[in-house]
Amino acid sequence: MTYQTTTRLLKVNPEAPEPALIAQAAQVLRHGGLVAFPTETVYGLGANALDENAVSRIFAAKERPASDPLIVHVSSTGELSQVAMEIPPLAWQLINRFWPGPLTLVLKRGLLVPPNVTAGAPTVAVRMPRHPVALALLSAADMPVAAPSANLFSRPSPTTAAHVLEDLNGRVDIVLDGGPTTVGVESTVLDLTQTPPCVLRPGGVSLEALRRLIPDVAFRAKYAAENEQVAAPGMLLKHYSPRAQLVLLNGEREAVLRAMQAQARAEQEAGRRVGFLLVDEDLPLLGQQEGIVESLGAVADAEAVARRLFAALRSLDARGVDVIFARALPRDGLGLAVWDRLMRAAEGRIVDVE
């Protein structure tokens, strides 16, 4: 596929996006083009969800396998009937509680949705984003918009417009720059076609929050191969990955940090450039270990850790490290989503430290 040589970058007010700028982007969507835009989670790469050719441009631009389905974004509950059918009562309860927001619902696919959106599956993933720019764009375009994260396939998701341009400059028509995203990890994906409902991907809505409404909701981590059929995005084993090798260590904190120091020293003696992805509390315990450090903030502030995660991985890549060491953090609240992203970034390789 031949790409254009330039991408238009439009800076918009994240709280009150300018109608004229939004109208330009909406027109591109209506004509089958691609628009990257901020949501509260990460930046999305949008195309008309009901136009098979437009959707195919997403896969080409991202170099994404056709087996990995997309999430359809809507600006109102009225659009839901265009993309899904046989919507259960529980879906409406969840919509009333969590939409707009970072919760994606897997429902039975509507007849208007082309098969490449869902990778041929009979289900479709749908959400209503909370970000003012996303909602304004969806409303102005007046159509459901398919939008995975706006990055090259398997790279860390973009939380700024600069991240989008790093991966997709010249591959998309417009990037709406609404500043950094606020959640920093993707939406939670909840499959309502299973009984009990099952979380397929942890994200911006915690498992604990869902259990207040669905006490028996399940979470089953799936680490699929690239060409394996999956029901939702973000389920492949290799995903969210930096160019550097990521080593994820799990265990008692002090033991993990000692093991991290020893492994990092061995890597450095072998001539490899080492990076560390740490929470603030771990910095003093790492000692005088040489390496490039990116801090995620305080371990108790899971929201800050999630918000910083992808930007920190991209920063370590930009600084030329060969290997990144990270400690597995507590999995409560948003910590479960952070753990999931690090597991996939490490391609499932986790070192258990005794």
Give the CATH number for residue 190: 3.90.870.10
pLDDT of the residue at 354: 81
Residues 56 and 92 in one domain: yes
Residues 164 and 280 in one domain: no
pLDDT of the residue at 39: 98
| Domain membership flag for residue 30 | yes
- Give the range of the structural domain holding residue 95, as residue numbers without chain letter: 8-219
Provide the token pair at 307: 């918000």
Q: Burial, 286: exposed, middle or buried (Cβ in 10 Å; 0-12, 13-18, 19+)?
A: middle
Residues 63 and 133 in one domain: yes
Show which of 219, 234, 257 is a domain's final residue.
219
Residues whose CB falls within 8 Å of the CB of residue 290, separated by 6 or more in sequence, listed in order: 268, 274
Q: Based on the structure, what is the number of domains in the chain? A: 2
Residues 63 and 152 in one domain: yes
Residues 279 and 315 in one domain: yes
Dist. CA 316–CA 75, nearest whole Å? 36
| Domain membership flag for residue 102 | yes
| Domain membership flag for residue 208 | yes
pLDDT of the residue at 231: 65
Show which of 219, 237, 257 is a domain's final residue.
219
**Alpha-carbon torsion 133, 135, 138, 140, what sign?**
negative
* Phi-psi group of 120: left, alpha or beta (phi > 0 → left; psi -120 to 50 → alpha; rest → beta): left
pLDDT of the residue at 2: 47
Residues 123 and 76 in one domain: yes
| Domain membership flag for residue 232 | no
Backbone phi, psi, residue 109, to 5°:
-65, 135
Q: Which residues are 350's β-sheet partners?
A: 248
CATH code of 326's domain: 3.40.50.11030
| Domain membership flag for residue 239 | no
Show which of 161, 184, 219 is a domain's final residue.
219
Q: Burial, 229: exposed, middle or buried (Cβ in 10 Å; 0-12, 13-18, 19+)?
A: exposed
Dist. CA 206–CA 342, nearest whole Å? 17
Provide the token pair at 22: 């939004």
CA separation, residue 205 to residues 202, 320, 322 (Å): 8, 33, 33
What's the distance, CA 44 to chain centroid?
9
| Domain membership flag for residue 87 | yes
pLDDT of the residue at 230: 66
What's the distance, CA 202 to chain centroid?
10
Dist. CA 63–CA 244, nearest whole Å? 19
* pLDDT tens-digit profile, the chain (354 residues): 445 558 999 999 999 999 999 999 999 999 999 999 999 999 999 999 999 999 999 999 999 999 999 999 999 999 999 999 999 999 999 999 999 999 999 999 999 999 999 999 999 999 999 999 999 999 999 999 999 999 999 999 999 999 999 999 999 999 999 999 999 999 999 999 999 999 999 999 999 999 999 999 988 876 665 666 666 776 667 778 899 999 999 999 999 999 999 999 999 999 999 999 999 999 888 766 778 999 999 999 999 999 999 999 999 999 999 999 999 999 999 999 999 999 999 988 899 998
Residues 121 and 157 in one domain: yes
Residues 200 and 257 in one domain: no
| Domain membership flag for residue 249 | yes
Residues 37 and 125 in one domain: yes
pLDDT of the residue at 1: 45
Residues 214 and 340 in one domain: no
Contact 4, 170 (CB under 8 A): yes
Residues 170 and 266 in one domain: no
Residues whose CB falls within 8 Å of the CB of residue 112, separated by 6 or more in sequence, listed in order: 50, 82, 83
Q: What is the 8-class DSSP label of residue 113?
A: S
Q: Which residues are 109's β-sheet partners?
A: 84
| Domain membership flag for residue 346 | yes
Backbone phi, psi, residue 38, to 5°:
-80, 140
Residues 298 and 213 in one domain: no
| Angle (nearest 5°) at CA 347 between 155 and 129 | 45
